[in-house]
Every structure is written in structure tokens, then in C-alpha cells.
């Protein structure tokens, strides 16, 4: 399906709402029936009927159809956060006594679920370095039911060979789940490589304006229906109609925003790589990236998120760099219009900083929608204020 068609037309039955160009926000919790028989039908199958907005809602459905098509999936569910999508995807595929193989350092709240919540129910997790397929082979146990991926990782950009992992998992009857937030379906479609469930934080690029928290989970019609009738309805973590409407609005400009960001990010990276205070830049589409070949093979693009290692002898220099930025904001998240930075040392007590640890000197930069020169000038200011 054409991306322009998906974004601009698919699922928009304008004749049903006064030929309005922007779809209506159906801000209704419940829906009425004309006959007992209609109501009976809805109770029997809530997945096919508008009954109550914790389940289906017409505005959310427009968004669902577009997002599933972008993922090349049969169906999808939209949650009120990416974390909720992760939780439902995993919970739906484990029971007491099961085992999960996950990539090392997945998103914080995925890790917390694996380490703190699931063990309470007898589900254990083994973390592997996902850059080598053999690590997955070695970690799989007879009771492994889920392989959890995040490719690229959103700090070090480690990548997994999606096709190889999918083949391995299928042979062992294991469900594969991937966090595809970094690429979005514009730059990577894991289902085409045989991955079962692909999810993303729609808070990032789909929303794109730092005003909505949401998550998407896509997969086969059978799997998505099963999750809808259980975890989705039970946790009640579906997106609200208004937030779904904001995501439809965000989607309209998704390819353009990514295109612009891809161009400016390349310029920012060139600048950083040429700077004498920068030791290293980590970015999957940089030729020096160790997994560059695999990145090029399975991703159509890389987004505006990168990490650079700054040369610093003490934490104060990094703090001065960050504190003197005037346009790049210090904040979590990414994928919005505004450039952002997180120094790794902000997660450490200042006394624990050790310049020998490369990671302590790493900064994650998100390149937003500003012009490259504007961002580079701000970085230049930061480097100038670092001192010795």
C-alpha cells in the first residue's frame, strides 16, 4: 500500500461525517443499540462492534487501520503509552513457569517488568547480547515462550539480525516481540522479516510534537484479537479518542519530519565527528558503526537519535557543556519538534563520575526539526563553555 494513501486516505470515510477533512473525535464512552439482538451480538463479540470505548472507538479505529497498514500488519492496537503496549504484548505470551530471552538493556520499563513484576509470577528472563545470533540459540530453554528485541537500542544502537532471530524462533515455536520505536515503520518493518509482534512508543515520532503519550502494537489478526479480548480490555490501557486524533494529525507529516531530521542529523554528526572534544559518535547509519552493514540491510533509514562521547576529565565540564546550551533542551523522550540532550552523568551521583568509563562521558542527543546550523551553533556554544 502506498504510504501517501495510508496517511491521507485509508480508513477515512468522510461521507459518514459531513465530508469533513479532519476526522471527528468521537468523545463518547458508550454506544447505543436499536434492538436486543444487536446488543446481544455486541456482547458476544466486542471486537467487531462499538459498545464501550475501553474497547473499540471509531476515532481510534481510523488510527488503528493506518498504523497497522504502515507496519504491514493485519491489525494493531493503540495503547495510552508505549510501556502499556510492551506490557500487554509480553503478558499475553507468558504463563507461570515460562522463560523469556531478551536483548540486553531493553527500554527501562521493559527491563523493570522482566526483573521485578514477572518473577513474582514465576516468569524468568535471560538477557543476551543480541548482536550475535548464537547468543539467542544458547539462551533458549525448553520453556522459552518469548524472544524480546529492541533494534536498534535507543542508547547504544545495538542491532539484532531480525530475519535470523525470526527463523530461529519459528523453529522453536517462540513468539518474537520487537520494540521498533527508533525506526518507526517508515524506516523498518519487522513483520516483513518474520517478527510476530512489533511495537513502538507513538509518543516519539508518530505523535511527533511532544504533546501525547501513546503506544502501538501490531501483529496477526489472530494474536491482536486475543490480546484485545484479554490484556487490552482488562488493563484498560487503550488510547483516548482525543489522543488518537492527535496521532492521526501527527501521522500526516511523519515521512516529511523524518526526511528533514535524517538530513539535519547527518550534518550534526559530521560536525560532531570533526570536533576535537568529541571522542566518538554512535549512530547506526554511520559508516564507522560496527553493525553498519546489518543496519543498512534491514533499515531504510535512521532517525535523529545519536550518542556521542565527549572528552572530559571531570563531570563539571560535561555539566558546563549542557548547562550552557540555549536551544537544545535537557529533557527525556525524543521524536518531537525540539532537540534534546541527556548526559549519562545525570543518572549518576556526581561523585561516582569516572572519566575512565566511556559511558559516563556519553550524551544522548536528539536532533529535532530545527535547522542544522541552529543546532550546531548551540553545540558550539556548549563546547566553548566547557573549560579545561
Ligand X SMILES: *Cc1c(COP(=O)(O)O)cnc(C)c1O
User: Could you tell me where the DSSP H helices lie in the chain?
Assistant: 3-8, 36-44, 58-71, 82-91, 108-112, 133-139, 162-171, 184-187, 221-227, 233-235, 241-252, 254-273, 292-298, 315-323, 372-384
Q: Among residues 82 and 250, whose Cβ is nearest to ligand X?
A: 82
Q: Among residues 148 and 321, whose Cβ is nearest to ligand X?
A: 148
Phi and psi, residue 371, nearest 5°: -70, 150
Angle formed at CA 309 by CA 303 and CA 312, multiple of 5 degrees? 150
Q: Among residues 51 and 183, whose Cβ is nearest to ligand X?
A: 183
Query: Shortest distance, CB of residue 284 to ligand X, whole angstroms?
Result: 14
Our finding on whether 188 is near ligand X (CB under 6 A) is no
Nearest one of 250, 249, 259, 83 to 187, comparing CA atoms: 259
Q: Among residues 157 and 353, whose Cβ is nearest to ligand X?
A: 157
Residues in the interface with ligand X (CB under 6 A) total 12
The grid coordinates of residue 369 equal 526539526
Separation of alpha carbons 343 and 309, rounded Å: 10
The grid coordinates of residue 352 equal 561516582
Q: Which residues contact 305 (CB under 8 A, 6 or more apart)?
A: 154, 182, 334, 364, 365, 366, 367
Q: Out of 83, 128, 244, 376, name the contact with ligand X by CB under 6 A.
A: 83
Site for ligand X in 105-144 (CB under 6 A): 107
Nearest one of 252, 250, 254, 232 to 242, comparing CA atoms: 250
Q: Among residues 154 and 307, whose Cβ is nearest to ligand X?
A: 154
Q: Among residues 93 and 201, whose Cβ is nearest to ligand X?
A: 201
Q: Among residues 60 and 83, whose Cβ is nearest to ligand X?
A: 83
Query: Shortest distance, CB of residue 215 to ligand X, whole angstroms?
Result: 5
Q: Which of the 8 DSSP states describes residue 238?
A: B
What's the burial of 317, exposed, middle or buried (CB within 10 Å: 0-12/13-18/19+)?
Answer: buried
The grid coordinates of residue 28 equal 463518547
Binding segment for ligand X among 113-121, 199-207, 260-268, 352-360 (CB under 6 A)?
199-207
Site for ligand X in 205-244 (CB under 6 A): 213, 215
Q: Out of 82, 219, 284, 304, name the contact with ligand X by CB under 6 A.
A: 82
Query: Shortest distance, CB of residue 10 to ligand X, whole angstroms?
Result: 23
Strands 197-201 and 215-219: antiparallel
Binding segment for ligand X among 32-40, 93-101, 197-205, 260-268 (CB under 6 A)?
197-205
Q: Among residues 31 and 109, whose Cβ is nearest to ligand X?
A: 109
Helix axes 372-384, 254-273, angle to 10 degrees: 40
Binding segment for ligand X among 128-136, 196-204, 259-267, 284-292 (CB under 6 A)?
196-204
Instruction: Give the residue at shortest CB distance from ligand X.
Output: 82
Binding segment for ligand X among 75-83, 139-147, 337-345, 373-381 (CB under 6 A)?
75-83
* Residue 26 three-state SS: coil
Cell 496517511 belongs to 7
Per-residue binding letters, 92-111, with ligand X (x by CB under 6 A): ---------------x----
Q: Among residues 165 and 213, whose Cβ is nearest to ligand X?
A: 213
Residues pairing with 148 in the sheet: 102, 177
Query: How would you label 350-366 residue by residue, b for 16+ Cβ within 10 Å and e otherwise?
Result: eeebeeeeeebbbbbbb
Per-residue binding letters, 297-336, with ligand X (x by CB under 6 A): ----------------------------------------
Q: Among residues 179 and 286, whose Cβ is nearest to ligand X?
A: 179
Separation of alpha carbons 66 and 75, rounded Å: 10
Q: Out of 57, 93, 102, 201, name the contact with ligand X by CB under 6 A.
A: 201
Site for ligand X in 164-183 (CB under 6 A): 179, 181
Q: Out of 203, 240, 317, 339, name the contact with ligand X by CB under 6 A.
A: 203
Binding segment for ligand X among 156-164, 183-191, 198-206, 221-229 (CB under 6 A)?
198-206
Binding site for ligand X (CB under 6 A): 81-83, 107, 154, 179, 181, 201, 203-204, 213, 215
Amino acid at each position: 500500500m502506498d504510504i501517501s494513501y495510508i496517511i491521507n486516505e485509508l480508513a477515512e470515510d468522510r461521507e459518514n461525517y459531513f465530508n469533513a477533512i479532519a476526522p471527528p473525535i468521537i468523545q463518547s464512552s458508550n454506544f447505543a443499540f436499536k434492538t436486543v439482538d444487536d446488543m446481544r451480538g455486541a456482547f458476544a463479540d466486542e471486537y467487531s462492534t462499538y459498545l464501550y470505548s475501553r474497547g473499540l472507538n471509531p476515532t481510534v479505529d481510523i488510527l488503528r487501520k493506518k498504523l497497522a497498514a504502515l507496519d504491514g500488519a493485519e491489525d494493531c492496537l493503540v495503547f495510552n503509552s508505549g510501556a502499556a503496549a510492551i506490557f500487554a504484548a509480553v503478558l499475553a505470551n507468558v504463563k507461570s513457569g515460562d522463560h523469556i530471552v531478551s536483548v540486553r538493556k531493553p527500554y527501562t520499563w521493559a527491563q523493570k517488568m522482566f526483573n521485578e513484576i514477572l518473577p513474582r509470577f514465576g516468569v524468568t528472563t535471560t538477557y543476551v547480547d543480541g548482536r550475535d545470533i548464537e547468543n539467542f540459540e544458547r539462551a533458549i530453554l525448553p520453556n522459552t515462550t518469548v524472544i524480546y528485541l529492541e533494534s536498534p537500542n535507543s542508547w547504544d544502537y545495538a542491532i539484532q539480525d531480525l530475519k535470523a532471530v525470526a527463523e530461529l524462533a519459528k523453529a522453536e515455536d517462540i513468539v518474537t516481540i520487537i520494540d521498533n520505536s527508533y525506526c518507526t515503520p517508515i524506516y523498518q518493518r519487522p513483520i516483513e522479516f518474520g517478527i510476530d509482534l512489533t511495537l513502538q512508543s507513538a509518543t516519539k515520532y508518530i505523535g511527533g510534537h511532544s504533546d501525547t503519550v501513546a503506544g502501538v502494537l501490531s501483529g496477526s489478526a489472530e494474536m491482536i484479537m486475543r490480546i484485545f479480548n484479554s490484556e487490552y480490555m482488562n488493563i484498560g490501557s487503550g488510547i483516548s479518542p482525543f489522543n488518537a486524533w492527535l496521532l492521526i494529525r501527527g501521522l500526516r507529516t511523519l515521512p516529511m519530519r523524518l526526511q528533514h531530521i535524517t538530513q539535519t542529523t547527518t550534518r550534526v554528526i559530521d560536525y560532531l565527528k570533526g570536533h576535537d572534544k568529541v571522542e566518538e559518535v554512535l549512530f547506526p547509519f554511520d559508516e564507522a558503526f560496527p553493525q553498519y552493514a546489518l543496519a543498512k540491510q534491514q533499515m531504510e533509514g535512521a532517525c535523529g537519535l545519536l550518542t556521542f562521547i565527549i572528552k572530559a576529565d571531570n563531570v563539571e565540564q560535561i555539566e558546563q557543556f549542557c548547562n550552557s546550551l540555549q536551544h537544545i533542551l535537557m529533557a527525556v523522550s525524543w521524536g518531537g519538534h525540539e532537540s534534546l540532550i541527556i548526559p549519562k552523568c545525570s543518572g549518576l551521583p556526581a561523585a561516582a563520575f569516572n572519566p575512565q568509563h566511556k559511558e559516563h562521558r556519553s550524551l544522548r542527543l536528539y536532533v529535532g526539526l530545527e535547522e542544522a546550523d541552529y543546532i550546531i551553533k548551540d553545540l558550539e556554544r556548549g563546547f566553548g563553555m566547557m573549560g579545561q
